[in-house]
Amino acid sequence: MVQIFRFSLNSIKKPARSHMRGNIFLDSLRLTVKGGHGGNGLPRYGGVGGQGGCIYCVAKEGVTLRNVVQRYGEKRVNASNGEDSSKHRLLGRRGVDEEVVVPVGVQIYDDHGQLLGDLNDSDASCIVAVGGMGGCSGTSFLGKPGENRVINLDLKLIADVGLVGFPNAGKSTFLKAISNAKPKIGSYPFTTIRPQIGTVQYADLRSITIADLPGLIEGAHANFGMGHKFLKHIERTRLLLFIVDITGFRLSPKHERRDFLQNIYALNKELELYDKTLVGKPSVLLINKMDLPEAKDIFNSNKPFIKDLTLKLNECPENIKPEKLLKFEAFIPISAKDSVRINHVKEKVRLVLDDLAAKEQVTDATVLRERLANEIGERGPRVI
């Protein structure tokens, strides 16, 4: 009897899939940081204690938040104390600063949600804890304690393009077809449990990066599945590539089956619920799995509704009806599996990004001109 019970218990406790065990993608981390204590002064000789060391965060390519955890196991970083003033060294030595090396793309907040630094480039740095002042006459020669606080490191990937779609839509397959990435591909949802980034190379040696953002499901805003854990990464992308399965999608037998048009509305809704401004981002729609036998008919009969999403909005279930509709720069039917029309997507992505860059340049120039005009003002006779 006991044997049977044990057997049935074991069969319930399924081992996690190997790629899901351990090594989970870490994109936020809390650290306690403490600047060094200032050294004491020497009243007899007017000696001044050394300032306590400060703590900086410095961004470096190739570093992960896991590396930070490995280095600071207790999630606590201390800078060293300033030296006391002495007869032999009246000005005490400054405490040694501590550099916390973090990934590029990290935003650092204090515990009140105040942004301390946004480290978007390699070698960018910011101070997160100031060392205490050394003791001097103004402090009765007593060194001051260093700043002690909790900081939150929030990693947001930086990619030119964000790939957004429900599970099983073919995001990983597409990323593999268009870029150098080697993501995991499976016929079951949630094969990808961490964002993957692929680089797309063009003939003129320009390269762009595409991030596959997994785990988005209908109801993610209510924290279903992984919630919006990965959606934050699209905030920093310049273009969104939406991908839907032409045959629709059903997460599980418990969930309703959605046709591909409803999936577009549902993706729109999830984005809107996460952050309304994201809906206004430039976006392109990819309609995947066009190699399937029924695909062409479904596509042809729905073409007008893809072109104008308002047409079927009244038939959209209330819980996935978006308030503001996405405006696609283009919609492209593809087969990611057979690499059909992938080059077309590649060219379109490039075109949209180049257009954006040109527009940004014009805006920058206009803003600069206006600022200069304001700063300099008009002087001398006006020539008409």
Ligand X SMILES: Nc1nc2c(ncn2[C@@H]2O[C@H](COP(=O)(O)OP(=O)(O)OP(=O)(O)O)[C@@H](O)[C@H]2O)c(=O)[nH]1
- Angle at the Cα of 351 from the Cα atoms of 346 and 353, rounded to 5 degrees: 95
Complex with ligand X: residue 85 or 168, whichever CB lies closer: 168
Looking only at residues 192 through 211 of this chain, which bind ligand X when binding is defined by CB under 6 A?
Answer: 192
In whole angstroms, the minimum distance from the beta carbon of 343 to ligand X comes to 15
Kindly write out the interface string for residues 5-34 of this chain, putting x where it contacts ligand X by CB under 6 A and - elsewhere. Answer: ------------------------------
In whole angstroms, the minimum distance from the beta carbon of 337 to ligand X comes to 3
Complex with ligand X: residue 192 or 268, whichever CB lies closer: 192
In whole angstroms, the minimum distance from the beta carbon of 234 to ligand X comes to 14
In whole angstroms, the minimum distance from the beta carbon of 242 to ligand X comes to 12
In whole angstroms, the minimum distance from the beta carbon of 223 to ligand X comes to 18
Complex with ligand X: residue 39 or 214, whichever CB lies closer: 214
Residue pair 197/209 in contact (Cβ under 8 Å)? The answer is yes
Kindly write out the interface string for residues 264-303 of this chain, putting x where it contacts ligand X by CB under 6 A and - elsewhere. Answer: ------------------------xx-xx-----------
**Cα dist from 351 to 224, 242, 355, whole Å:** 36, 17, 6
Kindly write out the interface string for residues 214-253 of this chain, putting x where it contacts ligand X by CB under 6 A and - elsewhere. Answer: x---------------------------------------
Kindly provide the b/e burial profile for residues 208-240, where b requires at least 16 CB atoms within 10 angstroms of the residue's own CB: bbbbbbbbbbbbbeeeebebbbbbbbbebbbbb
What are 166's two structure tokens? 């429900």
For the chain, the distance separating the N- and C-terminal CA atoms, rounded to the nearest angstrom, is 102
Complex with ligand X: residue 235 or 291, whichever CB lies closer: 291
Using DSSP's 3-state secondary structure scheme, residue 257 falls into: coil
Using DSSP's 3-state secondary structure scheme, residue 384 falls into: coil
In whole angstroms, the minimum distance from the beta carbon of 163 to ligand X comes to 8
Complex with ligand X: residue 153 or 264, whichever CB lies closer: 264
Complex with ligand X: residue 129 or 336, whichever CB lies closer: 336
Beta bridge pairs of residue 242: 164, 285
Q: Which member of 3, 18, 70, 187 binds ligand X (CB under 6 A)?
A: 187
Residues touching ligand X, count (CB under 6 A): 23
Cβ-based neighbour number of residue 280 at 10 Å = 10
Q: Which member of 78, 191, 237, 268 binds ligand X (CB under 6 A)?
A: 191
Q: Mention every residue, 6+ apart, whose C-beta is less than 8 A from residue 289.
A: 170, 245, 246, 247, 295, 335, 336, 337
- Angle at the Cα of 377 from the Cα atoms of 374 and 379, rounded to 5 degrees: 170
What sections of the chain are H helices per DSSP?
2-12, 65-71, 171-178, 260-274, 295-307, 342-376
Residue 337 in the binding site for ligand X (CB under 6 A): yes
Task: Give the interface segment with ligand X, choosing from 3-11, 232-240, 264-272, 332-340 (CB under 6 A).
Answer: 332-340
Looking only at residues 144 through 183 of this chain, which bind ligand X when binding is defined by CB under 6 A?
Answer: 165, 167-173
Residues in the chain: 384
Q: Which residues in this chain contact ligand X in the complex, by CB under 6 A?
A: 165, 167-173, 185-187, 189-192, 214, 288-289, 291-292, 335-337
